[in-house]
Amino acid sequence: MKIEVNQSTCVGSGQCALTAEDLFDQDDDGIVILLHDHAKPEFQDAAQRAASLCPARAITLSD
């Protein structure tokens, strides 16, 4: 599963890193940093949860 983030719409909520700390972090301004651009099968549920909780919908997943 491929993960993409849009740093220009990210609002720095940290929701993604709280939900899937193996995949997402934040810079000093709170903007999302993608740690892995592919989610291994065991992280796919967490990636999906993070994407669905993002208040800015700044995370997109594709197969």
Partner 1 sequence: MPSRHRTVVVGASTGGFTTAESLRCNGYDGRITVVGEEPHRPYHRPPLSKQILAGEWALGDATITSAATTPALSIDLVLGTRATGLDTDRRTVKTTDGELSFDSLVIATGVSARRPARQYALAGFHTLRTLDDSTALTADLRGATHVLVVGAGVLGSEIAAVLAKRGLAVTLVGRSGSIRFGQTGSLLSSRVADLHETNGVRLLLALDVIRLLGTDRVTGAVLSDGSTVAADVVVAAVGSSPRVEWLAGSDLQLADGVVCDSAGRAAKDIYAVGDVARWSDTPGTHSARVEHQQNAIEQAHAVASTISTGIPHAPDIVPFFWSELYGTRIQAYGRFTGAGTLDVVAGDPAEGKFVGLASRDGTAVGVVGWNLPRAFRIARAQFTSGTADIGERQLAP
Which residues are at the interface with partner 1 (CB under 8 A)? 9, 11-15, 17-18, 25-30, 48, 51-53, 55-57, 60-61
Question: Per the structure block, which two tokens stand in for 48?
Answer: 């999906």
Binding at 44: pick from ligand SF4, partner 1, none (beta carbon under 5-8 Å per type): none
For residues 61 and 6, is the Cβ–Cβ distance under 8 A? no
Calpha distance 27→49 (Å, rounded): 21
Does residue 15 interact with ligand SF4 by CB under 6 A?
Answer: yes
Binding at 46: pick from partner 1, ligand SF4, none (beta carbon under 5-8 Å per type): none
